[in-house]
Chains A and B, each alone.
Chain A
Amino acid sequence: MKKRSFTDLFFLLFVVYIVLPVAATMLYAFADKWNKTILPEGLTLKWVMTLFQDPAFIQAFGRSVLLAGGAVIVALFVIVPAIFVIVLYFPKYEKWIQATVVMVYSFPGIILAVGLIRVYSKFGISMILVVLGAYVIGILPYIYQGTRNSLRNVDARQLLDAAQLLGASKMQAFTRILLPTVYPGLFAGALLSFSVLFGEFVLINLVVGSRFETVQIYLMKKLSTSGHIASAVVFVYIVLMGILTFIAAKVTKKTKGATNV
């Protein structure tokens, strides 16, 4: 029993440490005056209201959604077919995709940024497209994981063969049978990818800079000018991430339940 309470203490430490900064920032976003006291002197909506009346923020938000969402959509159209083809028809080459996944996952943005700038800055092409391309590759691990897990759950190859045996065309088997089964995993992977890219700062800051102000760059600027506005930005960011994580978790749970039946 003694041992149990000892590890529980660590668990408590873990949770408090993880929750405290998030909670404090949320509170700060609604704090009226908070300069001399331990707790805010009053609560107000004015910081969040001010934020949503700032066209610069709205635009930054739009840019972030466009960039992260665009990368996820491109990834779905480019990466997913490639994973399907490899897993279903050339399983012996799957180790190459796995190696790429590990490399992409372990190479930090700061190293990739050096190479991207070196290669593309002199061609005169839009560096935003370069970042978009890097984002598409950057989320490969999440998309791969989401797709692969679902494919493994259903034994996709046999499913396809069975459908074709029963008279479905290849196209029908693919869109009616296979796609619906991997859809939830794919959807969760896409949401996770989106939230990872929404929080990305290194590549966009180093490769493009403030010419394309995303939410992260907007936040970076506000850090030195207004703490309250910055906390309102972080509040919006956390809420958005929370919603995405929640939906992803629900969807994943549902698929698990479905395949267990």
Chain B
Amino acid sequence: MSKRQAFIWLSPFIVLVLLFFLVPLLYMLITSFQSNGAFTLQQYQTVLTNSYILQGFKNSITLSVVSAIIALIVTLFAVYAIMNFSEPMRERILILTNLTSNFSGIPLAFAFIVLLGNSGLFTLLFDKWEIGVLSSFSLYSWAGLLLIYVYFQMPLALMLLYPIYDGIQQQWKEASALLGASTWQFWMKIGIPIILPGVVGTFSVLFANAMGAYASAYALTSSNYNLVAIRIGSLIKGDIFAQPELASAIAVLLAVTMVLAMLLSEWSIAKTRRKL
């Protein structure tokens, strides 16, 4: 195939990537340094001194870290259990997970409203059993958001952890047992060091996944809860008070946070590899 022919086939794709991905992102970056058309650092100054926006960052980061850790721990053990099942059973579980990985955003928020909303299934149950502590639980709060975030993190965690566990071969366990190692020793000296880089990588993907999530939080708290994604949304959507420059600056900082998380995980993976 000649270069020219190849170019004909490639150009529509390149044009689309430019038009609907690279140019918008670049333009957003430029916008974040503007105020009424002039170059300025003012937007970033606003972001870094505005306690409301900073609180949004803090809330988002806490929610993302905590939901990622909980989902990771539950899924780590769950995947280990799945590994012991028969092949067809494992396949069925993977299909189910695949299905629920698409169950996010507005439908997911609604499903939790059915369960734990003001007149939800469990809310009624807790009232009936007079479990005071539980009936004072509010879905429309940090704790409620955490439940939903953990929900959409778990299928993703499973998809990412499954191949990592798959890498640990039964023979290794048998070999180490033959050489006199206990199960505990196998995991401490062999198992965990092998899966650790993968787990750290999974964590950073989950973190980024939660940081960028918008729809479920929006559906549940209709922009009342202060999260970065919600702040960006309301700054670009408000037709009268739209502040695209400020929204761009926050979006750039959100992207920076996610890139930092990725770099941190790369760094720790490299470090654990060196130790091995």
Contact = CB atoms under 8 A, between A and B. Distances in A.
A and B form one complex = yes
A21 B151 contact: yes
B110 A25 contact: yes
A24 B81 contact: no
Given A85-B10, A234-B110, A18 B154 contact: yes
B248 A118 contact: yes
A238 B229 CA distance: 26
Interface residues of A, number: 84
B175 interface: no
B27 interface: yes
B16 A108 contact: no
Contact of A201 (B80, B103, B106): B106
A237 B13 contact: no
Contacts of A245: 95, 98-99, 102
Contacts, number: 230
A109 interface: yes
A111 B25 contact: yes
Interface in B85-104: 91, 93, 95-100, 102-104
A219 interface: yes
Interface stretch (A47-55, A62-70, A75-83, A178-186): A75-83
Interface of B: 1, 6, 9-10, 12-14, 16-17, 19-21, 23-28, 31, 74-75, 77-78, 80-82, 84, 91, 93, 95-100, 102-115, 119, 121, 124-125, 128, 150-151, 154-155, 158, 183, 208, 211-215, 218-219, 229, 232-233, 236-237, 244, 247-248, 251, 254-255, 258, 262
Given A78-B16, A137-B17, 18 more contacts: A4-B84, A7-B80, A7-B84, A10-B80, A18-B96, A18-B154, A21-B114, A38-B125, A84-B9, A85-B1, A85-B6, A89-B1, A112-B25, A115-B25, A119-B27, A136-B16, A234-B111, A241-B99
Interface of A: 3-4, 6-11, 13-15, 17-18, 20-22, 24-25, 28, 35-38, 78-79, 81-82, 84-86, 88-90, 100, 103-104, 106-120, 130, 133-134, 136-137, 140, 195-196, 199-202, 205-206, 209, 216, 219-220, 223, 227, 230-231, 233-234, 237-238, 241-242, 245-246, 248-249, 253
